[in-house]
A and B are shown apart, each in its own frame.
Chain A
Amino acid sequence: MSKEKKKPILPMIIFGIVSLGSYFVLFNQEGLVTETYTKGGWYAAFPILTAFWFSFVHGSFGSNLLDVVGLQAKKNK
């Protein structure tokens, strides 16, 4: 525990804001989004890319969040 790494508070905040912002934008434009995303055909790119975007942004937020609260993997000896 003596050589503890610095907690990634800043990355957590940045990814958190970007993620929250993305959620806000999508849910704020709910009608337009659901309409466009379900047109089918090539419009399929919308939901797929959105899912990738969130897995990156929100996934990174989650990872940093768990680090900050101190939930980390067991260190291998």
Chain B
Amino acid sequence: MRKVAAVLIVILMILPMATAVFAGGPPPKNLKKGIFLEVNEAAGTALFQDSTTQETSTLMIGYSVKAEDLKLNKKMMVSFEEHDGQVFIKTAEVMFLDLTLTKFISLIVVGLVGGLLSGFIGSGGAFVLTPAMMSLGVPGAIAVASNMCHKFPKALVGSIKRYKYGQVDIKLGLVMAVSAIAGVQIGIKIQKVVLDAWGNAGSNLYVSVVFVVVLVIVGGYVLRDAFKLSKNPAAADTQSKLSLRLQKINLPPMMHFKTAGVTMSAWITLPIGLATGMLAATIAVGGFIGVPGMIYVCGASAIVASATELVVAFVMGTYGSIQWAVSGLVDIRMTLLILSASLIGVQLGAIGTTYVKDYTIKLVMAATMLVVAVSRGAKIPVYLQDLDWATLSPTTTAVLNGISFWALIAALATAGIIITGAMIKGMREAKQEVQVEESHSKA
């Protein structure tokens, strides 16, 4: 208990220094939020009231944003650009879109399956929720913020549930979270260098390439492992050779993780967290490296690793959400709609883990990672075109964007089907076991 308290104190000390803890990059700075009171098309100006300061000002339109793009008396998010020494409106997006029934239902369905996945493999949902929201017409920054604000309550509920099943290693989770926070900082620095050097399109390309390479390599490895284990379930209890070798390295300070059943040097544990954070800052899903890292490098079982990832997601999600909320970008309506289903989904996923073998979790994780890699890979030619390194016909671009989106939906559906199937099978077997036991005790 004293050790946990010590770790908590360290976190509390580090957090004020961590000024930018969020996945997927920092909230944009040069944004203004407010209402357009009047648009003068002939003069190329618009009267704008800032909702934070209540000051009104005249803004220039006519370059990227035309008069018809502005909606009067609706809260809009505005960004700026400079042309010939004058500041023009670059983008103007309605912040709170009207929630139609279709949007309502889509958010709830995606929330449910995302929650199920999250409860089962420790991460998930985020990679599909943000694009799904954006395809419903939500501005990117709002989608990231609202999604992040839904992540930490979900992770909290999920980790409490899995803690009750004895699957969570809190200490490992906190150590991972703290080092991940440091990793996020490094990840953002790298992102900034890329952004400055190659601009927005270059940054998108960089993110996608990292995404695809990491997901294919790690996902492929996990898949191979899952298949091996399904053929030889007895091997499930053995730790990876790498982690066994690493555990022999006696470099103080040594850390003992009780639930994971591992004693390891802090010099090995911390870099995994660091890598998780760096990846989280780059591709917005740290769990895809954190969970395999805990399994193959630390030597935790897939069940413990996926449960512990929820603690990491909670800590990182909370502070990420605070950042985005301070910028005032969370659309709480969307957050709550997703939560309405995902808080149930995540608990269902958690229950599911008690019925399946370790390799099922690995299988679901690998399948998700690989399909998500396809989704992101389909976007690469589009980004190449943005950089003028390739030319695509508009049809090709549309098809690629379509593939990208539907692959995400397919990833969710695949995972949902495998989890549900495995759960039903596991529950049936458990019932049969109970019946057999009862008939034995009667006889």
Does B336 contact A66, Cβ atoms closer than 8 Å?
no
Does B165 contact A73, Cβ atoms closer than 8 Å?
yes
Does A59 contact B149, Cβ atoms closer than 8 Å?
no
Q: Which residue of B lies closest to A43 (CB)?
A: B328
Does B153 contact A54, Cβ atoms closer than 8 Å?
yes
**Residue B340, interface by CB 8 Å:** yes
Find A44's partner among B51, B150, B326, B430 (CB 8 Å cutoff).
B326
Does A48 contact B343, Cβ atoms closer than 8 Å?
no
Contact mask A45-58 → B, CB, 8 Å, 1/0?
A: 11110111011001
Does B33 contact A38, Cβ atoms closer than 8 Å?
yes
What's the Cα separation between A70 and B5 when bound, in Å?
A: 37
Q: Name A29-49 residues within 8 Å CB distance of B.
A: 30, 33-35, 37-41, 43-48
Does B149 contact A62, Cβ atoms closer than 8 Å?
no
Does B354 contact A62, Cβ atoms closer than 8 Å?
no
Question: B78-86, B154-162, B278-286, B393-401: which one contacts chain A?
Answer: B154-162
Find B333's partner among A27, A39, A44 (CB 8 Å cutoff).
A27
| Distance to closest chain A CB from B355 (angstroms) | 5
Q: Which residue of A lies closest to B437 (CB)?
A: A77
**Residue B123, interface by CB 8 Å:** no
Q: Name B196-245 residues within 8 Å CB distance of A.
A: none
What's the Cα separation between A58 and B52 when bound, in Å?
A: 32
Find B328's partner among A33, A38, A52 (CB 8 Å cutoff).
A38
Find B340's partner among A37, A47, A52, A58 (CB 8 Å cutoff).
A58
Chain B residues contacting A45 (CB-CB under 8 Å) are 325
- Contact A34-B343, Cβ < 8 Å, known A1-B438, A51-B149, A51-B153: no
- Contact A38-B343, Cβ < 8 Å, known A26-B336, A59-B157, A74-B426: no
Does B153 contact A72, Cβ atoms closer than 8 Å?
no
What's the Cα separation between A30 and B336 when bound, in Å?
A: 12
- Contact A72-B351, Cβ < 8 Å, known A37-B330, A54-B153: yes
Does B328 contact A66, Cβ atoms closer than 8 Å?
no
What's the Cα separation between A73 and B350 when bound, in Å?
A: 8
What's the Cα separation between A45 and B438 when bound, in Å?
A: 53
**Residue B344, interface by CB 8 Å:** yes
Does B351 contact A47, Cβ atoms closer than 8 Å?
no
Does A1 contact B149, Cβ atoms closer than 8 Å?
no
- Contact A39-B321, Cβ < 8 Å, known A58-B343, A71-B351, A74-B426: no
| Distance to closest chain A CB from B388 (angstroms) | 37
- Contact A66-B339, Cβ < 8 Å, known A26-B333, A47-B149, A51-B149: no
Contact mask B151-173 → A, CB, 8 Å, 1/0?
A: 01110110011001100000000
| Distance to closest chain B CB from A62 (angstroms) | 4
Chain B residues contacting A47 (CB-CB under 8 Å) are 149, 321, 325, 330, 332, 335
Does B351 contact A73, Cβ atoms closer than 8 Å?
yes
Scoring A38, A45, A65, A71 by chain B CB atoms within 10 A of each residue's CB, the highest score goes to: A38
Chain A residues contacting B161 (CB-CB under 8 Å) are 63
What's the Cα separation between A74 and B322 when bound, in Å?
A: 36
Chain B residues contacting A59 (CB-CB under 8 Å) are 153, 156-157, 160, 343, 347
- Contact A34-B326, Cβ < 8 Å, known A47-B321, A48-B149: no
Find B332's partner among A26, A62, A65 (CB 8 Å cutoff).
A26
| Distance to closest chain A CB from B100 (angstroms) | 14
Q: Which residue of B lies closest to A73 (CB)?
A: B354
Q: Which residue of A lies closest to B317 (CB)?
A: A51
Chain B residues contacting A51 (CB-CB under 8 Å) are 149-150, 152-153, 321, 332, 335, 339
Chain A residues contacting B328 (CB-CB under 8 Å) are 37-41, 43-44
What's the Cα separation between A40 and B51 when bound, in Å?
A: 10
| Distance to closest chain A CB from B54 (angstroms) | 11
Does B52 contact A39, Cβ atoms closer than 8 Å?
yes
Does A34 contact B321, Cβ atoms closer than 8 Å?
no
- Contact A48-B348, Cβ < 8 Å, known A34-B331, A38-B328: no
**Residue B391, interface by CB 8 Å:** no
- Contact A55-B156, Cβ < 8 Å, known A62-B344, A62-B347: yes
Chain B residues contacting A23 (CB-CB under 8 Å) are 336, 340
Does B154 contact A74, Cβ atoms closer than 8 Å?
no
Q: What are the 5 A-B residue pairs with the smallest beta carbon separation, nearest first?
A: A40-B328, A55-B153, A44-B325, A62-B344, A59-B157
Chain B interface residues toward A at CB < 8 A: 33, 51-52, 75, 95-96, 149-150, 152-154, 156-157, 160-161, 164-165, 318, 321-322, 325-333, 335-336, 339-340, 343-344, 347-348, 350-351, 354-355, 426-427, 430, 434, 438
Return 19 A-B CB contacts under 8 Å, by A number: A34-B75, A34-B331, A34-B332, A38-B33, A38-B330, A39-B328, A40-B328, A44-B328, A48-B325, A51-B149, A51-B321, A51-B332, A52-B156, A55-B156, A55-B339, A55-B343, A59-B343, A62-B344, A72-B351
